[in-house]
Structure 1
């Protein structure tokens, strides 16, 4: 369940997929027919022999359909409303569970016609890191291993116990800390003498150098193992003392070769985390190069995870979930609710950045109160005194393009990040219609396409299946689920 590294190789291109030529028809709707490699209808020579499954997705705001096919097959999308669509394609090696290539294109479907489209696929770098698994943690710290492609629980078995966060190496082996030991899958490989000093996310893996890092309050320690002969002693290298001048401990870290990135909170402004970039020399001395605050980037909240991608990009997750004033929804106090977050991608020297999935505009969520009374709350259930709340929460229509509260990077593929996201949106009571208010919680996996930076929902879990956090609120919005008004909720929005 961790941040690992991918590579972007030179752009080797090949046309994997062709669609039929334009043809006329009599229907009002259109269609798309995709000829897969090996098909007699394909318009090119297929030369990538490792792929044996193709996944093609066609979608727009009103349509979303995914189909799978094998070499030589044809995939058809019929009865399509005329308009613009996005077509994406992936070629998979099922035996090795590897994505061989992928690509996308924009197409226009016209009434009564079959659309001609070509999706140019980019070969994925086979030396790149591929997350085989997603290690997901529920609010009680129980860990589950999910297979990356299927989003189903994996047959791989690891006894995590109450272990700290995990990392996965290039061989699909999972490292985690439990008690005073570092484990590779179920085998103890190292004793850690002082686990009381471990930071929040203590493990990190740098696939560039095949090294593992453990973060303590006052230092970062590197452990490099010779996995080929199961050498458990390895070698240990401590990075200086990566503290701020005031001596604060850091909260998160990421490493790539001689670059080290830290997150710390300044004593003078605990609400504005700092990102610091260090380099190390041959004497293992750290030299600070640059720092940047979240407020400069235009986001706020807690940094929950970070990673350095293969091209040197620094990925930082920011999570802001709060209720102000805390634990009450009352008109007189003026309530502001935050359930939002962002993926921040920074250049390796922290000089430039982009923000994705952040909700930066407030909106008002209002209750429908009884009318025709001097006391608008007369007849309202209990002592509810809610008129409206100011919400920094994604609009329901934009829920799949924004975050509710990103918590961890759980998988990295060459062109994709998978992020565990958890938060809530609300509707308030409708007293006229006697409908209760409700908090709608979301526990889901979000994907970020690293070519076009589109955000989408890979899977949403029901609360019975998996909860990343146990979200609760106190106050009058949480009304009873029994009695005459039970389960009469206004529509989610």
Structure 2
């Protein structure tokens, strides 16, 4: 094996060979270091499959770690009542920015750490109103109406009915030539979009088919969009709703899928009733697709269900149903930092990681003999995904008094518990969380 180092500059850009690998699947990781300043300037990884008697070649595209790479300085977090909070990426504390976002919807950070957000049909840069959005019907805005392209340093606004993407020009006017209208007459609903230079990605669902589609377009010489490829969530092997998407620095398309609810994967827990015949979903996935949508990898997805059991008798007294078990797609407690409970938003992008706001719940059924109620444990977390190793970890878990992304409750109970027994005097069963 030959190592490329500063002491061997003639080998830079050359070939590293591993002549004695056993057949199998490997992950090759490369890093470029500025050894004078001990700074990591670039990194990347790729998976390779080695077959017996064959030579396998691979190239690794590195993500820049230097000044040309995009760095989120902040994490813009949304409380369940739509109040926005700006947290410093490094300190994990609320940042002193000199302005507040309040209940503005959507917010994006540019290359200089300035934050754009929409309120009352106006686009703001920090506290400054920079543009009035020409729409008389704000319900026409899609769920993710503002997107920032880190490569071209421009922001985009999408309107649902016409599916136009508006580019901010230097004179603060709109360029409406970069657009695409797709089947509005068929009742399609558009959920998210992301743009990187001349490429555009849309997530939409059709009227009679709730499964989300991801479409990839390129802008041709006539500045209209030409469809290149599309893929369904069912093809990827995940289900639920797409909550966010972004195009990373190397062109990878990151998509968040959230599967949270009782019996339905998208209805959530809010004031829902559990049933011993029902299914509880609290899971999600980060899907990383190639820029042409031809390949993908899924991270953090809980694919198999487990049974959560109660302790005690299997009888029914009067009108009180006493549960014995529920079927749940929820990580085991010891797996909680390897899976998602319900990813909602990509809140920070760094050259070697992304940070995701994740919200869901774990459940404990009651101990009937011990007269202990069941309990729901809500989780509001910031999860990081290392873009070199793709390891998932918890960056911060918020207490409900500090911040909660969703106001989770079941069957009219409190925000973190539900009553199973008729009496409210029993203590909560503090078993497996």
Q: TM-score range by the shorter chain?
A: 0.7 to 0.9
Change (3 A) 1:193 1:442: same
CA distance in 2, matches of 1:189, 1:328: 46
- Equivalent position SS for 2:334: helix
Contact 1:330 1:385 in 2 (8 A): no
Q: Select which of 234, 237, 262 maps to 2:176.
A: 237
Provide the residue aligned with 1:214 in structure 2: 157
- Equivalent position SS for 1:165: strand
Contact 1:304 1:317 in 2 (8 A): yes
Whether 1:254 aligns to 2:194 is yes
User: Deviation at 1:267?
Assistant: 1.6
Change (3 A) 1:12 1:254: farther
Whether 1:329 aligns to 2:266 is no
User: Deviation at 1:384?
Assistant: 3.5
Whether 1:316 aligns to 2:255 is yes
Provide the residue aligned with 1:353 in structure 2: 296
CA distance in 2, matches of 1:342, 1:406: 7
CA distance in 2, matches of 1:309, 1:129: 9
Provide the residue aligned with 2:94 in structure 1: 153
Whether 1:191 aligns to 2:132 is yes
Q: Select which of 53, 67, 81 maps to 1:140.
A: 81
User: Deviation at 1:376?
Assistant: 2.2
Q: Select which of 326, 347, 354 maps to 1:417.
A: 354
Change (3 A) 1:419 1:12: farther
CA distance in 2, matches of 1:336, 1:223: 44
Give unpaired runs (5+ residues) of structure 1: 1-10, 16-43, 52-90, 92-99, 104-121
Provide the residue aligned with 2:311 in structure 1: 368
Change (3 A) 1:146 1:45: closer
Provide the residue aligned with 2:378 in structure 1: 441
1:274-289 to 2 correspondences below 5 Å: 274-289=213-228
Whose RCO is larger (CA < 8 A, sep 6+)?
Answer: 1
- Give per-residue Cα distances to partners, 1:11-69, cap 9 Å, x unaligned: 99789xxxxxxxxxxxxxxxxxxxxxxxxxxxx996117x7xxxxxxxxxxxxxxxxxx
Could you tell which deviates more after superposition, 217-226 or 433-442?
A: 217-226
1:39-438 to 2 correspondences below 5 Å: 47-48=36-37, 124-194=65-135, 195-217=138-160, 218-226=162-170, 233-244=172-183, 246=186, 248-270=188-210, 272-324=211-263, 327-331=272-276, 334-370=277-313, 376-378=315-317, 383-438=320-375
CA distance in 2, matches of 1:123, 1:240: 30
User: Deviation at 1:164?
Assistant: 1.2
- Give per-residue Cα distances to partners, 1:187-208, cap 9 Å, x unaligned: 0000001133111010100011
Could you tell which deviates more after superposition, 401-410 or 236-245?
A: 236-245
Query: How many residues of Structure 1 are paired with residues of Structure 2 in the alignment?
Result: 376
- Equivalent position SS for 2:180: coil
Q: TM (normalized to structure 2)?
A: 0.80
Contact 1:211 1:222 in 2 (8 A): no
- Give per-residue Cα distances to partners, 1:421-457, cap 9 Å, x unaligned: 0000100001112221100000010000000100000
Contact 1:368 1:431 in 2 (8 A): yes
- Give per-residue Cα distances to partners, 1:101-146, cap 9 Å, x unaligned: 899xxxxxxxxxxxxxxxxxx9822210100000101000111100
Contact 2:189 2:206 in 1 (8 A): no
Could you say which structure has the larger radius of gyration? 1
Q: TM (normalized to structure 1)?
A: 0.71
- Equivalent position SS for 1:417: strand
Contact 1:219 1:239 in 2 (8 A): no
Contact 2:262 2:280 in 1 (8 A): yes
Contact 1:300 1:318 in 2 (8 A): yes
Contact 2:374 2:420 in 1 (8 A): no
Give unpaired runs (5+ residues) of structure 2: 8-32, 45-62
CA distance in 2, matches of 1:247, 1:13: 58
Q: Root-mean-square deviation (CA), in Å?
A: 2.9
